[in-house]
Chain A
Amino acid sequence: MALSWKSARWIAFLTLVPILSGCSDRWGWYVVNPTTPSGWTNLTFLMSGLWYTILLSVTAIAISVVLGLLIALPGLSKNPFLRAFNRIYVEVVRAPPILVLILWVYYGLPQAADIQISVFWAGVVALALSDSAFEAEIYRAGIQSIDKGQYEAAQTISLGYADTMRYVILPQAIRRILPAMGNQFVYMLKMSSLVSVIGMQELTRKANELVTAEYRPLEIYSILVLEYLVLILVVSALVRWLERRLTADEAR
């Protein structure tokens, strides 16, 4: 997941070579040739899904990071009922494939709960729900890895549960689980492509629509691959930056 600039340059090089080498009429790159008006239009059409892919993933991740913690904490309780709640949630929610969850939330939930749900929020709910189970497990492992002495020290300076978690345990746990969470962010970004099946106008959907119109799947999907590659390199860089920032003060 964590890419250095050196390896990033190599990946860019290796991807660009086949694409550029195919830039003759025979290959059909004209469909996305930025120097022609129609190619430019197609290219901007493809890119126009970017905003929704980002909005969808970021919203879903933001929700699942909070939800995951709220699910993880009962799992660490002494109370067996709270622990059982955690186990059942995690096992049930992480079982269905994300695609199935998307279909269920979009087509099933409105009937079951008698509500209206937009494509965007159906996507967010399905992605966040699915991810929350994994985030919960990541939090649980992270929190459990903190030494018992930290809780005892917090207790002897009379910190309550909330303060102990907020100021003592979570700051340490989050540093440890950041790489695992970074993986999860990348995964969520990729899985957002599945929301295209219910008509979300994100990157994958745009590519599919253009393929239907232009009959140039190789070129168009190559662009799509590139788009995700760039997005994910950006996420990786952000996570690495966050990791460095969080560990910077410790190294001082």
Chain B
Amino acid sequence: MLRNETATIISIRAVSKLFGTFKALDEVSLNVREGERVVVCGPSGSGKSTLIRCVNRLEQHDVGEIVLDGVTLGNTRDSAKVIADTVGMVFQQFNLFPHLTVLDNITLGPVRSRGMSEADAKALAMHYLERVKIPEQAGKYPRNLSGGQQQRVAIARALCMEPRVMLFDEPTSALDPEMINEVLDVMAELAGSGMTMICVTHEMGFARRVADTMVFMDKGKIVETAPPDVFFTAPESARCQEFLQQILPH
């Protein structure tokens, strides 16, 4: 379990995000401490993806403030730098580069944006491929891998930038059921190593196992924030109870 005294690394303060006139995020606030594992769940369209995409500015919030490792996010160099140095992301659709081998997918970032030598980047990439347990696939192209393997490559690609925070947006939703666990195991192992994580997922077994904090979103608002034992046994809001009933096996 997370020690309480660690510093806040992400502070989301009354953030709203509009798409046209539609409020995808409605005054959302959330603090994430270093080493904390946050699992975000909620119905489709509730703003889960938008929330974590605001943290690395794939979406730009309209109102409120997001502070990442002491830097307020915005259209500034400092903001871009703190995101580049701090945050990694894994997508539902993997988004691997199809024209590059697994190894080249992983080394591209370190070589081009960190200025690392090819040899160092390769060594680092192999280290992370070992960690996601597919070092033997290094020379293959993404299309020749299974979905679970592709997602593990995507995790290795993000880790190779050595981020301090990892964002996961439904990383197992596009996978066949038999491949979900191999990805969740890698993520659980990562969580065990002390990585700060915000993870959007509906895999409640995984959430119970690794989460320090459960967040439930509905209609662009955070409706419930609680440690998993409380969250799963005694959720406060009716909306959250209803959601859990639908999603949890009886």
Contacts and interface: CB of A to CB of B under 8 A. Distances in A.
Interface of A: 147, 149-150, 152-153, 155-160, 163, 167-168, 171-172, 175, 249-250, 252
A149 B157 contact: no
Contacts of A175: 99
Interface string B89-133: 101010111110000000011001110000000000000000000
Contacts of B91: 149, 152-153
A157 B141 contact: no
Contacts of B98: 172, 250
A163 B113 contact: yes
A159 B113 contact: yes
Given A156-B89, A158-B114, 15 more contacts: A150-B95, A153-B91, A153-B96, A155-B56, A156-B58, A156-B88, A157-B157, A157-B161, A167-B97, A167-B112, A168-B108, A171-B99, A250-B98, A250-B99, A250-B143
Nearest to B91: A149
B96 to A, nearest CB: 7
Chain B residues touching A, majority SS: mixed
B158 A156 contact: yes
B141 A158 contact: no
Chain A residues touching B, majority SS: helix
B134 interface: no
B84 interface: yes
Contacts of B58: 152, 155-156
10 residue pairs, one from A and one from B, having the closest CB atoms: A157-B109, A158-B84, A153-B95, A149-B95, A158-B113, A156-B89, A163-B112, A171-B99, A172-B99, A152-B58
B161 A153 contact: no
B95 A157 contact: no
Contacts of A150: 95, 97
B102 to A, nearest CB: 12
Nearest to A250: B141
Contacts of B161: 157-158
